[in-house]
A and B are shown apart, each in its own frame.
Chain A
Amino acid sequence: AQSVTQLGSHVSVSEGALVLLRCNYSSSVPPYLFWYVQYPNQGLQLLLKYTSAATLVKGINGFEAEFKKSETSFHLTKPSAHMSDAAEYFCAVKTQDTGFQKLVFGTGTRLLVSP
């Protein structure tokens, strides 16, 4: 069964610093992978997705992620953190369930950005 593991429940960075949020996946088939962001008291919204096209995927708000099959990773990065990036980030993988599809989520990483 497909699954994802997010390393680090909290990541702290200073404003302007590099953001790196880690996600490793387990999948027996080529995966579809997603990063979602959740701002306080809101639902989740899609940041970016990998669907077996380009391995470097660009998303909203300057975020990007690189699919590395050899490392089974799909880490999320942003060159320069902004205070508004403070949120919880979830990695997810698509699974197939008797011909239908659903997403399995990691436990999330809370990004803290200090001035």
Chain B
Amino acid sequence: DAEITQSPRHKITETGRQVTLACHQTWNHNNMFWYRQDLGHGLRLIHYSYGVHDTNKGEVSDGYSVSRSNTEDLPLTLESAASSQTSVYFCASSATAGTGELFFGEGSRLTVL
């Protein structure tokens, strides 16, 4: 079965360190998204990609970057982790055509000390 997987599921890091969260999907979807989830804010879009070599900033992109070198993967990098980036991060994907339905990964919980 097609799926979307995130790793690591849990990570603790220190302020100032670089962190990369991996996202891999086997749906062959062109569209991939990164969200963060925080109490009181719901899901907020960080970055998204509509295909290989395409990346776009979402509403909370400061301090984050992504790159898309193939269809399956969209890694999220925190260049210099800050305590404000402690959150749960979700990767999602969708097909180019169709309803826009998103398929989500299980999430990555990041703690920045």
Q: Given A42-B107, A43-B105, do A102 and B99 touch, yes or no (CB 8 Å)?
A: no
A49 & B101 in contact (Cβ 8 Å cutoff):
yes
Provide the bound-state CA to CA distance between A105 and B43, in Å: 6
Give the number of chain B interface residues (Cβ < 8 Å).
Answer: 23
Would you call the interface of chain B mostly helix, strand, loop, or mixed?
Answer: strand
Q: Once the chains are docked, how many angstroms separate the CA of A97 from the CA of B31?
A: 12
Asked whether, in the complex, the Cβ of A90 is within 8 Å of the Cβ of B43, the reply is: yes
Q: Per DSSP, are chain A's interface residues mostly helix, strand or loop, or mixed?
A: strand
Instruction: Verify A107–B41 contact, CB threshold 8 A.
Output: yes
Tell me if B33 and A44 are in contact (CB < 8 A): no
**Residues of B48-84 whose CB lies within 8 A of A:** 48, 50, 56
**A: number of interface residues (CB 8 Å):** 24
Q: From B9, which residue of chain A is reached at the shortest CB distance?
A: A41
Whole-angstrom distance between the Cβ of A25 and the nearest chain B Cβ: 14
Which single residue of chain A is at the shortest CB-CB distance from B45?
A102
Q: What residues on B are CB-neighbors of A42 within 8 Å?
A: 106-107
User: In the complex, are the beta carbons of B99 and A105 less than 8 A apart?
Assistant: no
In whole Å, how far is A76's beta carbon from the nearest beta carbon of chain B? 15
Contact: B100 with A43, CB < 8 Å?
A: no
Taking beta carbons and an 8 Å cutoff, which residues of A are in contact with B?
9, 32, 34, 36, 41-46, 49, 51, 90, 92, 94, 97, 100-103, 105-108
